[in-house]
Structure 1
Amino acid sequence: MQVIFLQDIPRVGKKYDIKKVSDGYAVNFLFPKKWAVKATAEATAEIERRKKEIVIEREVREDLLIKNLDEIKDKIITIKAKADEKGHLFSAIHEKMLAKAMEKEYHAQIDEKFIVLEKQIKEIGEFEIPIVIKTTADGGVSKKSSFKLIVERA
């Protein structure tokens, strides 16, 4: 039976893939959990339309991210965190915190997966934080920028 997967299923198929699976697997497992639907002509047309929408949304999002990259350059973000006398933080600063701080201070939405930290920040000081965005529109070209992070004792 041909089915269209509605979500990623490890070792079976990815979201919106059309694959042939056994009837029992589809009827007894995939359909009840709403992980797949039968691949009819209407469902296939709907999936193709949805895939096109996803590509357009991705391109718009990448254009916005590239515009944000130009605005982010030379920006300074200050984060206050609890630390001991030696300057070691009680909790590390990670990508998600940096993305939220960037959005709060500059209204620039940068996804945390584009912020590149070799390791989490665990001490007070100044850090240069790189941002790398791989675009699909330009053939997989990476766009790079960075901003300055200042971690102060709260």
Structure 2
Amino acid sequence: MKIILLQDIPKIGKKYDIKTVSDGHALNLLIPKGLAEIATPKALLKVEKLKTEDVAHKKIQEDLLIMNLKAIEGVTLEIKEKANEKGHLFAGVHKEEIIAHMKKDKHIDLLPDFIVLDKPIKEVGDYTIEIKVKGKIAKLKLNISAI
């Protein structure tokens, strides 16, 4: 069955990709959970429109972020997470948590593509995270402490 992915799904594809998967996988998992929809001609037109809107939104985000890179430089973000007595976090800090804290604490909206983070942070401590937009880089200080 041909489907359109509505978000990134590991080992299947990225958002708005058109993929062929088994009927059972599509009907029992992907479509009911809102991860995909059947690739009808009407849905394909809708996806093309959404793709162009996403590209325009990302361009606006990039332009705004380039103007605000100096505001990000040197900002210290405090994140408190549950950790064991050795300082190992129960759940790692991902790009999404960094984005949520930036939006809540500093009122700066980021996209995951702009944050340079190879793997989730699993330990309590101080970190320097790079925000990279169109070749320009700002360094964000991240202080992760235990609750």
Q: If the length of structure 1 is used for normalisation, what is the TM-score?
A: 0.61
Q: In the aligned structure 1, how far is the partner of 2:54 from the partner of 2:97?
A: 27
Aligned residues: CA RMSD: 2.7
Give 1:146's match in structure 2, choosing from 139, 142, 146.
Answer: 139
Distance change >3 Å, CA 90–CA 8, structure 1 → 2: closer
Gapped regions of structure 1 (runs ≥ 5): 1-6, 12-28, 38-46, 135-141
Amino acid at match of 2:44: W
Matched, 1:79 2:76: no
Amino acid at match of 1:64: L
Q: In the aligned structure 1, how far is the partner of 2:124 from the partner of 2:116?
A: 19
- 1:93-137 CA-to-partner distances (Å, cap 9, x unmatched) read 000000111111110111122111122100100000011112xxx
Q: Does the 8 Å contact 2:61/2:110 carry over to 1?
A: no
Gapped regions of structure 2 (runs ≥ 5): 1-15, 21-38
Matches within 5 A, 1:72-151: 72-134=72-134, 142-151=135-144
Matched, 1:34 2:43: yes
Q: In the aligned structure 1, how far is the partner of 2:56 from the partner of 2:45?
A: 24
Aligned length: 111
Q: In the aligned structure 1, how far is the partner of 2:139 from the partner of 2:124?
A: 19
Q: In the aligned structure 1, how far is the partner of 2:144 from the partner of 2:115?
A: 17
Q: Quote how far apart the aligned CAs of 1:58 are.
A: 4.9
Q: If the length of structure 2 is used for normalisation, what is the TM-score?
A: 0.64
Q: Does the 8 Å contact 1:78/1:149 carry over to 2?
A: yes
Moved segments of 4+, more than 2 Å: 7-11, 53-62
Distance change >3 Å, CA 54–CA 150, structure 1 → 2: closer
Q: Look at both structures and tell me which one has the larger radius of gyration over its CA atoms.
A: 1
Q: In the aligned structure 1, how far is the partner of 2:54 from the partner of 2:140?
A: 30
